[in-house]
Amino acid sequence: MPTVFEALPGIEVPVGEIKPRLARMWEDPEQAARGMSDDSARAMQMNFVVHFGFATEPDDAVAQFETIKIFAHRYPCRVVVLCPLNENDQGTEMRAKVYGECFLGKSKGDTRCVEFVVLSYPMATRCFLENQVSICLSTDLPTYYWAHRFSNSARLADYEFLLSHAKRVIFDTAIVPADAGSYPWPRPEAIRDMVSARLLPVRQSLGQFLSGFLPAQLVDGLQQVNLYHRERYAPEARVLSEWLRVRLEKCGASSDCDKVIKPSTAAGIDDFAVEFCYASEDRYFKWRADIALNHAEFSADLGQGRVELTTAIHLLDPAATLSEAIFY
């Protein structure tokens, strides 16, 4: 079975020749002969470091590689992909690949490009990684760091040079250790959770419907919030539960309203269901969503008559999730 490094596309080059190989990759033979270049055609907006943890399988890595290419259609970037070798993988030296691709934008002169530098390294060469990554990055651009499928928060914390200098640090709490969200990272304000980013359309849909009621109407007599979900959406339910808690507190609910929010799995429901239970049986709010069918239903009566609404619902696709996590 190939390693992650071997499964990713690119031309293998000596580590010491990464920068000149990148430059020659874009070289137009006719322009080079006349001593000209067209650097503007591949202007970059950002550095992006993608760190594949030991739990990343080759097919998974290729899928994330394709996601970044789609992301680069909108945000041209220099990408450094880190592929650490575990003790069972063979290899004693750092290896490198380079890869580039351009895409046409909204007009003929609008070209978007992405450059990849893929680094494979055994842990014995870990001490040289910071210098090598620094050489690969464009020093005048902001850097974003995506840690994918790491299996140990403390081990990832050893990469402090990335955690401390990246404008955003991104990971998916659905596929990383349970303590990742509470671990004392060097800059916790820079952390972004891809689960929360994926939920943006769901949060917007719920928020827009609930905004049709006065805040006092939402919390007056509120006794319990039931949040049901299918097992595969447990990470999303956890984030949605916290979002509901914060929003209800802003509406005037007591600071311990998290005690009345009850996330739980349930058979025979859609992917998600939320129910507000009030002291008066005549007042209620109910929401059901089926992500696979792109369908959601609202039903509520908070004292001013029954309101019902059917709407489309979805989670963000992987490339849009990256955008949301990085920039917002």
Transcribe 249-300 into DSSP letters: HHTT--TTGGGGEEEEE-TTS-SEEEEEEESSTT-EEEEEEETTTTEEEEEE
In contact, 270 and 310? CB cutoff 8 Å: no
From the DSSP assignment, how many helices (H) and strands (E) are in the chain?
12, 14
Distance (Å) of CA 232 to CA 57, 229, 295? 20, 8, 18
So what's the pLDDT on residue 37? Answer: 45
DSSP 142-178: -EEEEEES-S-HHHHTT-HHHHHH-SEEEE-TTSS-T
CA distance 290 to 309: 14
- CB atoms < 10 A from the CB of 35, how many? 6
List the structure tokens of 28. Answer: 């137009």
Q: What are the φ/ψ torsions at residue 278 (nearest 5 degrees)?
A: -115, 165
pLDDT recorded at residue 159: 94
Per-residue pLDDT of the chain (328 residues; tens, 9 = 90+): 789 999 999 999 999 999 888 888 877 544 444 443 455 456 789 999 999 999 999 999 999 999 999 999 889 999 999 999 987 666 678 999 999 988 876 776 677 889 999 999 998 888 889 999 999 998 889 999 999 999 999 999 999 999 999 999 999 999 999 999 899 999 999 999 999 999 999 999 999 999 999 999 999 999 889 999 998 999 999 999 999 999 999 998 876 665 567 678 766 667 999 999 999 989 999 999 999 999 999 999 998 899 999 999 999 999 999 999 999 8
Distance separating alpha carbons of residues 47 and 56, to the nearest angstrom: 22
CA-CA distance, 323 to 328, in Å (whole number)?
Answer: 8
The whole-number pLDDT of residue 209 equals 96
The whole-number pLDDT of residue 153 equals: 95
User: Are 168 and 190 contacting, i.e. CB atoms less than 8 angstroms apart?
Assistant: yes
